[in-house]
Structure 1
Amino acid sequence: MTTPAERARRGRDARKRVPRSAHAVWIPSVDRPDPVAVLERQGRDRLPELLPIRYGRMAASPFAFLRGSAAVMAADLAAQPHTGLTVQLCGDAHLLNFGLYAGPERALYFDLDDFDETFPGPFEWDVKRLAASVAVAARENGHSEPKVRRAALEAVAAYRTAVRRLSRLDELAVWYERIDAERLLPLLRSARQRGRDGASLTRARRRTSLQALHKLTEVVDGRRRIIHDPPLIEPAGASDAAALRKIFSDYRSTLAGEPRLLLDRYRFVDAARKVVGIGSVGTRCFLVLLAGRDTDDPLLLQIKEARSSVLEEHLPTGPYVHPGHRVVAGQRLLQASGDVFLGWMTGPQGRAFYWRQLRDPKGSAGDAGMSPGELAAYARLCGTALARAHARTGDRIAIAGYLGGADTFERAVADFAVTYADRTAADHAALGTAVAAGVVRAAPGV
């Protein structure tokens, strides 16, 4: 058995391959793929009528562009040397992919909450994406350049500090590590003092499936159904509804015994197609409304198409053949307390899907209008959450050995983040040019 000292030495040895200071350098290669071409290639097998919504959302700002362009950044990261210290990557550790969510026992935790791109890979890829998103957010909020770099540095410093702390704990302590929602309280108080509507723990706890029922459904002729809100929510066609009913049993079989028994207490009521977040717009996604004891005892499930991770073409083959299984397994590994209704199955035309609860109580402090101090504090919280996830799935002792006790790594990644924020602004402008030239069609404000 490898000792902790040997594992730490392995991490320090990785500095010979990639010195910590080397993370500061990022120069686009001469054959860097055109970012708009990367997005168009992603769209080839998506629903074409929804792609203008995706481009319209991404064209809104560099921050929105970065959120939807995980594939672009994956290619950029893959062109650089990496440490070889592998974890289960989130794959899209963007600032807005962290937030509050409720565990099965209904307690609120702060954690990662998007896993569509999860895949095994070098730990620093997630760290760099988080840092870049913090830098882009800081610029969008009008912060000075020193404070832009400082916010990115705070995220990475928190990551390093947390990994080093977790490297000294035993295995069970690391596995059960949680970030309680109360850690957000100082940020929420600050937001209220500044007159903003920041997320509230009380509101987050009230965001139950019953609240979603009233927001997303209505009663028509005595029957509850999902509200139609074209083009964002539209009724599932007869063939889609029939297919969803048929594959429901396949999904059920991927659940453990207890959640399966619970699911059996609900009956299928309605289904609708839904447009999802920026990066996933155009993929096939459905809402399924189930009813338990009566129509006021709902369960809303989301069925989302799972595709290859944007990381897969750049990394060795992963352990899961089924893309839905990959997403579900990645979420179970990375998230501190998972959704009991996570499952996967194969749908019509051989497409892979995964299932999860919709609108399980959650929320986020968000980034809009954050002061430099607030953004830095939120970035630290995100860095800590990312470290906790990586510590569960990779060799935390080796990573801690690589990071070391000095601030070399965070200073380097902060420099990278500022450089990549410049690149993101240029890529966003390129999308705007493509929209103006009619190369791609955008539907803003949807």
Structure 2
Amino acid sequence: MSHSAEVAVPVEVGDHEARRVRRPARRPHSSRAERVAHGKATRAAVPLESHALLSSSDLRPDPVELLARQAASRVPELVPIRYGRMLVSPFTFYRGAALVMASDLGGTPHSGLSAQLCGDAHLSNFGVFASPERHLVFDANDFDETLPGPFEWDVKRLAASLEIAGRDNGFKRKERRAVVLAAARGYREAMRTFATQTNLEVWYAHLDLDQELPAILAQLKPARAKLTEQAMAKARTRDSMQAFNKLAKVEDGRGRIISDPPLIVPVTELFSDEGATELFGQLRTLLRSYRRSLQSDRRHLLEEFTLVDMARKVVGVGSVGTRAWILLMEGVDQADPMFLQAKEAQASVLEDFAGTSLYANHGARVVAGQHLMQASSDIFLGWQRTKGIDGVERDYYIRQLRDWKGALPPEEMIPGGMAIYGRLCGWTLARAHARSGDRLAIAAYLGGKDTFDQAIADFATAYADLNEKDHAALQAAADAGRITVQTGL
């Protein structure tokens, strides 16, 4: 077979040892017939039904220990906030437990059909934002864990999140399965469609909500359609001026970020005057160096802005404790603000199981993965490495803090609405994988029947059960004083 030198071997049921995935050498110029044949041969070696399997071995790593391992490289005083957010529900636990699931996926059968993975493709990491052309687009929006790996790992992460969110919402078993099947079918059918398209057609494919929203709203009940339309309208208001009005104020004639500890803490409150001045200088240096990672026209635009203030900001659930800064930039005057976010990029949780990143800088890894997977990325998305005042060099990626960014809260979704949302996420994930992986081989592997969809739904149910046990284990660790928890933030 000329397309690939390797075909994955299934992992036996009950064998939980995480196995690093070998990345087969891709030969994009193989013929269509060879690529299709490769997909079908892979299906014979790794049956679609095998994707329902989840190891139940007692050798499975302690999830609390895995989370504690991540905490070692994070800001110590913020780690209790991360645990507090994870303990709110099984779904919030799942959001923060990407490493736990990566470890579990490493012990499951894998296809060996590689694509650029989001690495954390749960339903809350999809949403809407503005394209450079000022259209409202729907896409994946978190790439901290991006890395090449077996395409189905992203699908399983998405499917399990839908099952878990459905349980949190009190959906019935049949309703939850219908939601997960909608997402899996959306992925499979989209991939088969992309396999019939040209390279350029796939590259230009995107989900423009300005065009698609009427059709989506038509599938919802009137009251739910109105709420969805209002959410999309609200997203359009989340621009730089709205961010300034919420996060900053004018003080003594200068823009200043409003303190809201421990979630938002200006640099002047984190360090002494000397330390704050030093860190401010380091961030200026980071901005000057980071410009080189941008296109020349965007570099020119960025140079029209000046850094006037900065603060540490707690973001997300799984990211809590990593270093994240918001940078208040000023253009012509105070009526021309922009917020950038500089977020620390650590090693992907997938690296121990899918192979080490080819990028020496994890900020570059995140940016490259995002550009490859997203149909439209933020114009200021770039990366840089800088040394902190503690002398430690850290990788960062930088982007706008918000630009029409919005999402539909999972807790407000009803079964029919979540099924539609899951289908959109499945289509979007397939589009992202089709850009980076061998869409012909993946489509041939998936086939025209729903065998893969049913296996993914079975996996999602099994993983939701396991996630509930892990959530309880974290609660038990908190009750026993094994971890420190700060709630309500």
Q: TM-score range by the shorter chain?
A: over 0.9
Q: Which moved more, 1:180-189 or 1:422-431?
A: 180-189
Partner of 1:66: 94
- Taking structure 1 as the reference length, the TM-score comes to 0.97
Match of 2:301 in 1: 262
**1:346 match: secondary structure:** strand
Of 455, 462, 475, 1:432 maps to: 475
CA distance in 2, matches of 1:110, 1:164: 20
Equivalences for residues 133-212 of structure 1 within 5 A: 133-182=161-210, 183-185=212-214, 190=220, 193-194=223-224, 197-198=227-228, 200-212=231-243
Distance 1:398 1:281, change over 3 A: same
Superposition pairs of residues 260-299 of structure 1, within 5 angstroms: 260-299=299-338
How many Å separate the matches in 1 of 2:44 and 2:225? 50
- Alpha-carbon distance in structure 2 between the residues aligned to 1:14 and 1:370: 37
Distance in structure 2 (CA, Å) of the matches to 1:184 and 1:213: 29
Q: Is the 8 A contact 1:90 1:126 kept in 2?
A: yes
Structure-1 residue corresponding to 2:140: 112
Alignment of 1:360-399 (within 5 A): 360-399=403-442
Asked if the contact 2:53–2:108 (Cα under 8 Å) also holds between the matched residues in 1, the reply is: no
How far did residue 242 of structure 1 move?
Answer: 2.2
**2:5 match:** none
**1:223-234 alignment runs, 5 A limit:** 223-234=254-265
Instruction: Give the secondary structure class of the aligned counterpart of 2:397.
Output: strand
Structure 2 CA distance, aligned partners of 1:56 and 1:181?
Answer: 35
- SS at 1:405's partner residue? coil
Please list every run of 5 or more consecutive structure 1 residues that lacks an aligned counterpart in the other structure: none
After TM superposition, list the pairs within 5 Å mapping 1:68-83 onto structure 2: 68-83=96-111
Q: 1:10 is matched with which residue? A: 38
Residue 347 of structure 2 corresponds to: 308
Partner-residue secondary structure (3-state), 1:173: helix
Q: Distance in 2 between matches of 1:390 and 1:362?
A: 23
Question: Partners of 1:230 and 1:191 in 2: how far apart?
Answer: 41
Change (3 A) 1:191 1:210: farther
1:325 paired with 2:356, answer: no
- Aligned partners of 2:279 and 2:479: how far apart in 1? 36
Total equivalences in the alignment: 446
In the alignment, which of 285, 290, 297 is matched to residue 251 of structure 1? Answer: 290
SS of match in other structure, 1:351: strand
Amino acid at match of 1:171: N
**Cα distance between partner residues in 2 of 1:61 and 1:196:** 28
1:90 has 2:118 as partner: yes
Q: Is 1:91–1:118's contact at 8 Å kept on the other side of the alignment?
A: yes
**Residues 289 and 384, structure 2, Cα contact 8 Å, conserved in 1:** yes
Deviation at 1:429, TM superposition (A): 0.7
Letter in 1 for 2:49: S
Matched, 1:353 2:383: no
Match of 1:216 among 216, 240, 247: 247
Match of 1:417 in 2: 460
> How far off is 1:115 after superposition?
0.3
Cα deviation, 1:327-370, whole Å, max 9, x if unaligned, reads 00001011101111111111112111110111111211221132
Residues 189-221 of structure 1: CA deviation (Å, up to 9, x unaligned): 747605985453222222211111111111112
Per the alignment, do residues 88 and 195 of structure 1 end up closer, same or farther by CA in structure 2, a change over 3 Å counting? closer
Deviations 1:237-273 (A, max 9, x none): 4132221112221111111111100011111111111
Judge which range, 190-199 or 145-154, deviates more.
190-199
Distance 1:186 1:433, change over 3 A: farther
Q: 1:27 deviation in Å?
A: 2.5
| SS of alignment partner, residue 362 of structure 1 | coil
SS at match of 1:109: strand
CA contact (8 A) 2:118 2:142 kept: yes
> What code does the residue aligned with 1:202 have?
A
Amino acid in the other structure paired with 1:29: S
1:187, 1:378 within 8 Å by CA — same for their partners in 2? no
- Aligned equivalents of 2:445, 2:319: Cα separation in 1: 34
CA distance in 2, matches of 1:98, 1:56: 23
Structure 2: gaps of 5 or more residues: 1-28
Q: CA deviation at 1:43?
A: 0.2
Please give the root-mean-square deviation of Cα atoms over the aligned residues, in Å. Answer: 1.5
Aligned to 1:102: 130
In the alignment, structure 1 residue 344 sits paired with structure 2 residue 383: yes
Instruction: Spell out, residue by residue over 1:132-177, the C-alpha distance to the aligned partner (whole angstroms, 9 max, x if none).
Output: 0000011111111111122111100000000000110001000000
Q: In the alignment, residue 375 of structure 2 is paired with which amino acid?
A: A
Instruction: State how far apart, in whole Å, the 2-side matches of 1:296 and 1:191 are.
Output: 41
Q: TM-score, normalised by structure 2?
A: 0.89
The structure showing larger relative contact order (alpha-carbon pairs under 8 Å, at least 6 residues apart) is: 1
SS at match of 1:228: coil
- Determine the C-alpha separation between the residues in 2 that align with 1:196 and 1:243: 47
